[in-house]
C-alpha cells in the first residue's frame, strides 16, 4: 500500500480526545494539503493521510475503488473503527466511494473541489480543459508553473504570490510521475457516483472555490443537492487550490467536524442543501 502515510502524530502526540480523520488528496494536491491543511487539522484530530497516487498497476477504471479499499486498510492499521473523511479534488471522488461502499467507517464527510462525475459533472472551460489534456506530457517544473492561472484565484496571483511559490516548492520536493497525472485524470473522467449519492447518510460538508476553473463550482452545487442534508460552502476569492487562496476555509472545515457528535446518527430522510459563502 505504497504512498499511504500517517501524519500528525509526530508533530503532536495522539491523545484519546482526538478523533481520527482521514485526508485523501489527489497527486496534484497532496503536497499542498500536507503543508497547509494537515497542521491545522492535527491540532484537533489524529490525522491519517492517503495519497491518491503511487498505484503503478491500477487502471483508470479500477483506481478509485482500489484507493477506497486502501483507505479501509489504512483505518484498520491505525485501529480506527470509523473516522471523519476529508476528500480533496480527486481525493473527493475516493471519499465518495468510501462513504458509499463502507458507510460504517465514515463518521462525517467533507468533499472539497470535487465532482460526482457522470451526468452531474460540469467540465472545465475550453482553455482549462486543453491545459489538463497537455498537463501529463509536460516536464515537472513547466507543468507546475503553467498550472498557476488555472489553480489559483486572481487575488492570490496578484497579492499573495509568495504562497504560490511555497506550494510549488512543496510540490517540487515531492514530484509526481506524469503517468500518475494521466491515470488519475482518466479515472476522474470515468467517475460517476451521481445516481448513488442519495445513499450517503453521514453529515456532509461540500466546499468549493467560486473561481475554480479546473472543477467548476457547479460540480460542488450538484454534489450538495444530491447528498441528503449536505451543507455547501462556496469560498469567494478562491479557486481549485482553496487551502492556499482562502485558508479560512480550512478553519471552517474544522468547525464543521468539531460540531459532529462522537457517534453521528445516520440520516434516512432526504434533505436540501444549505449554501453559505466564505
Q: Residue 49 and residue 86: Cα distance in Å, rounded?
A: 10
Q: Residue 85 and residue 99: Cα distance in Å, rounded?
A: 9
Please tell me what DSSP assigns to residue 33.
I
User: What are the structural domain ranges in the chain?
Assistant: 4-264
Q: Residue 38 and residue 71: Cα distance in Å, rounded?
A: 17
Q: What is the pLDDT of residues 88-132, one digit of tens each?
A: 999 999 999 999 999 999 999 999 999 999 999 999 999 999 998
Q: Residue 135 and residue 90: Cα distance in Å, rounded?
A: 15
Q: Residue 218 and residue 113: Cα distance in Å, rounded?
A: 10
Note whether 3 and 67 are within 8 A (CB): no
DSSP output for 216-233: -THHHHHHHHHSTT-EEE
| Mean of the per-residue pLDDT values of the chain | 87
The grid coordinates listed for 15 are 491523545
pTM score, two decimals?
0.87
Q: What is the pLDDT of residues 243-253, one digit of tens each?
A: 999 999 999 99
Q: pLDDT at position 104, please?
A: 96
Q: What share of the chain is helix, strand, coil (3-state, %, to 5)?
A: 50, 20, 35
User: Cα 5 to the chain's mean position, in Å?
Assistant: 16
Greater model confidence, 134 or 158:
158
Q: Does domain 4-264 have CATH number 3.30.420.40?
A: no
Residue 6 has pLDDT above 50, yes or no: no
Q: What is the pLDDT of residues 40-84, one digit of tens each?
A: 999 999 999 998 765 555 677 789 999 999 999 999 999 999 999
The grid coordinates listed for 145 are 508553473
Alpha helices in the chain (DSSP H): 30-32, 38-42, 60-77, 90-101, 126-135, 140-146, 148-151, 154-159, 161-173, 178-190, 218-226, 242-245, 248-259
Q: How many CB atoms lie within 10 A of CB 257?
A: 21
Q: pLDDT at position 263, please?
A: 59
Q: Residue 140 and residue 181: Cα distance in Å, rounded?
A: 11
Amino acid at each position: 500500500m505504497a504512498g499511504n502515510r500517517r501524519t500528525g502524530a509526530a508533530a503532536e502526540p495522539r491523545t484519546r480526545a482526538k478523533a481520527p480523520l482521514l485526508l485523501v488528496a489527489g497527486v496534484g494536491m497532496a503536497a499542498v494539503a500536507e503543508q497547509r491543511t494537515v497542521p491545522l487539522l492535527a491540532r484537533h484530530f489524529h490525522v491519517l493521510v492517503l495519497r491518491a497516487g503511487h498505484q503503478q498497476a491500477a487502471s483508470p477504471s479500477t483506481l478509485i475503488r482500489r484507493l477506497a479499499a486502501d483507505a479501509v486498510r489504512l483505518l484498520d492499521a491505525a485501529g480506527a473503527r470509523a473516522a471523519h473523511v476529508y476528500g480533496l479534488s480527486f481525493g473527493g471522488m475516493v471519499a465518495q466511494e468510501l462513504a458509499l461502499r463502507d458507510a460504517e467507517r465514515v463518521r462525517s464527510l467533507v468533499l472539497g473541489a470535487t465532482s460526482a462525475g457522470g451526468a452531474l459533472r460540469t467540465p472545465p472551460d475550453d482553455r482549462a480543459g486543453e491545459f489538463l489534456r497537455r498537463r501529463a506530457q509536460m516536464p515537472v517544473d513547466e507543468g507546475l508553473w503553467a498550472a498557476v492561472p488555472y489553480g489559483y484565484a486572481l487575488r492570490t496571483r496578484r497579492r499573495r504570490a509568495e504562497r504560490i511559490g511555497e506550494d510549488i516548492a512543496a510540490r517540487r520536493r515531492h514530484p509526481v510521475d506524469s503517468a500518475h497525472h494521466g491515470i488519475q485524470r482518466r479515472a476522474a473522467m470515468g467517475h460517476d457516483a451521481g445516481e448513488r449519492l442519495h445513499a450517503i447518510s453521514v453529515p456532509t460538508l461540500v466546499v468549493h472555490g467560486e473561481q475554480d476553473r479546473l472543477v467548476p463550482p457547479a460540480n460542488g452545487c450538484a454534489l450538495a443537492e444530491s447528498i441528503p442534508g449536505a451543507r455547501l460552502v462556496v469560498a469567494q476569492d478562491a479557486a481549485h487550490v482553496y487551502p492556499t487562496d482562502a485558508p479560512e476555509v480550512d478553519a471552517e472545515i474544522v468547525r464543521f467536524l468539531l460540531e459532529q457528535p462522537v457517534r453521528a446518527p445516520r440520516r434516512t430522510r432526504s434533505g436540501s442543501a444549505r449554501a453559505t459563502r466564505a
